[in-house]
Amino acid sequence: MTRFKPKTSFPALMEAGLYGPPSTQLDDGNGFTVRTFKLNAETAMYTPEDCLLPSKTRDALADPSGRQWVKRSPTSVDTGDLSMPFRAGVEAFISALRAAGATVTIAATLRDPKRAYLMHWAWRIVRQNADPLTVPPMNGVNIVWTHEGPDGKYSRHKSIEAARDMVCGFDMLKLGAAPALNSRHTKGCAIDMAILWDQTLSIQNSYGVTVEVSTTPRTGVNPQLARVGESYGVIKFNRSGRDDPHWSDNGA
Ligand SMILES: [Zn+2]
């Protein structure tokens, strides 16, 4: 079994530049801050990038909003797409879980910031009355949020209907808040996974110590299991004890 022993603290890694510099912040004109990143080919880390393009450039590549966008840039379920050192910690933690007899089902790892942008703005147009005419563009996403009616003029109704198709396609109808433009997922530093086991789970932490997880629930929300995850640098997201499948490098 591969064991992950963190030698350097995460702030130190950030200082060393391994986590990339802090994100760029842009005002999207609606009182929200847009933070954008681009994937650095060398380090496979997301780094800040100005997302604004001149409108003429966008028009030449225009592709109207609608359901066809949903199948593009799908969210990965592969731990190999995660950023180091989080990836090593996650893979060691999952190996330990499976070796102990737990079932681990991964629902999401790396989410493309472009997909996050599409989800965020489709949701806000439909649920928060965001104006399709003023959605800020994102570099590399040639979506046009506005649609025309039969008279060839801008149709607010058709624009909202197209955004609604995307909200359905992304399965966000029941979502109570806009999906984040940037999260630990878009940086490759988060994983959603369902974890289940029977009886007592005897699992090794990253220090090679066997921990007997005898408490309930026998799921990823178990506090004893959270301590084991921490030893691998995989931190449980604790939203008031809700059974959320989200783990990340910093608990966010
Ligand atoms: Zn998540």
Please write the tens of the pLDDT for every residue from 11-35.
433 343 333 333 334 444 433 333 3
* Distance between Cα 203 and ligand 1 center (Å): 23
* Distance between Cα 17 and ligand 1 center (Å): 24
Is the peptide bond prior to 217 cis by the omega test (within 30 degrees of 0)?
Answer: yes
The pLDDT of residue 201 is 97
* Distance between Cα 107 and ligand 1 center (Å): 9
Q: What is the CA radius of gyration of the chain?
A: 21
* Distance between Cα 227 and ligand 1 center (Å): 19
Q: Do residues 3 and 206 lie in contact, with contact meaning Cβ atoms separated by under 8 Å? A: yes
Beta bridge partners of 104: 195
Domains and CATH numbers, the chain: 1-16+82-111+184-252 (3.30.1380), 52-74+113-182 (no CATH)
Residue with token string 């110590």: 209
Tell me the average pLDDT across 195-210.
96
Beta bridge partners of 100: none
* Distance between Cα 55 and ligand 1 center (Å): 33
Is the pLDDT at 218 greater than 90? The verdict is yes
HSE of 73, CA atoms in CB hemisphere, 13 A: 14
Tell me the average pLDDT across 114-125.
96
The pLDDT of residue 6 is 39
Amino acid, single-letter form, for residue 250: N
Q: What is the mean pLDDT of the chain?
A: 80
* Distance between Cα 190 and ligand 1 center (Å): 6
* Distance between Cα 157 and ligand 1 center (Å): 32
Distance CA 188, CA 113 (A): 10
Name the E strands within 80-172.
103-108, 143-144, 147-148, 154-155
Distance CA 159, CA 235 (A): 40
* Distance between Cα 191 and ligand 1 center (Å): 6
* Distance between Cα 57 and ligand 1 center (Å): 34
| pLDDT over 70 percentage in the chain | 74
